[in-house]
Copies of this chain bind each other. A is one copy, B any other.
């Protein structure tokens, strides 16, 4: 815990995911500073809001700088309580809803809405996609590739599994993944199970030093985790992508979110509609 770090709160009457996501985007614009963040979701009564703001305001005098609150309060009474804080309060709902109301010629509901309740079929399509991606993880099942939206390929530990799960969770895509193993590298042909699905293949690769480090944590001092082996496998996989004209992505510096978003953008796969 850094004494110089600025305290930042993410507050919401809902999950606070919007406040957190926006907040992290904002804070990332100040890479030279350090922040302590605290998320307080489900502030859905006047009592809770008053308690939270009392606590935040009590801490103001002790802190080195004014705390920052990123808040998404749909409810106006609660919003006004948050606004009364001594901290700097940034609320994109408060700022943007009046402008949207004007252009849409409609009042906003000021209610916390559950997306699932609004749209149960969306919930189910995501669950289906997650189920599919789990069953089709790591080449586990290859017979229903006909149904898949995409098949990620790559050598061990290039991020296939988290990318598939994120594609399923965030975008509702049925994402399978198939590992490229040493046996596959000796052949000019693609592995049998993925061969009929050329148009759905997408390759992942990374830098050898990075892969080596990740593999060392799993199996230290093994052939599997040696830099030489990592170099060999990555080169062979990249040659395979190029030879078969498979789109691929170097994920070395990317978050799971960015890998998934790049794949969706690159392939033109349809993003799930999250509200309507």
Contacts and interface: CB of A to CB of B under 8 A. Distances in A.
Interface of A: 5-6, 14-18, 20-22, 24-35, 37, 39, 41-42, 65-66, 68, 72, 74, 88, 90, 92-93, 95-97, 99-100, 103-104, 106, 108-111, 113-118, 123-124, 126-127, 130-131, 134, 137, 159, 161-162, 165-166, 169-170, 214, 217, 253-258, 260-262, 264-265, 271, 273-276
B39 A271 contact: yes
B116 A33 contact: no
A256 B5 CA distance: 32
Contacts of A275: 24, 27-28, 35, 37
Top 3 nearest A-B pairs by Cβ distance? Answer: A15-B261, A29-B108, A116-B255
A78 B69 CA distance: 27
Contact of A65 (B30, B35, B103): B103
A28 B162 contact: no
A220 to B, nearest CB: 15
A32 B18 CA distance: 21
Nearest to A218: B131
A71 to B, nearest CB: 12
A42 B262 contact: yes
A15 to B, nearest CB: 4
Contacts of A126: 162, 256
B134 A261 contact: no
B258 A114 contact: yes
B214 A124 contact: yes
B90 A99 contact: yes
A92 B22 contact: yes
A72 to B, nearest CB: 6
Contact of A21 (B21, B32, B258, B261): B21
B33 A254 contact: no
Contact of A254 (B41, B114, B262): B114
A29 B68 CA distance: 25
Contacts of A214: 124, 127
Q: Which of A25, A109, A111, A217 has the most CB of B within 10 A?
A: A25
Contacts of A253: 114, 116-117
Nearest to A6: B104
Nearest to A115: B255
Contacts of A74: 29
Contact of A29 (B110, B166, B276): B110
B258 A28 contact: no
Nearest to A103: B88
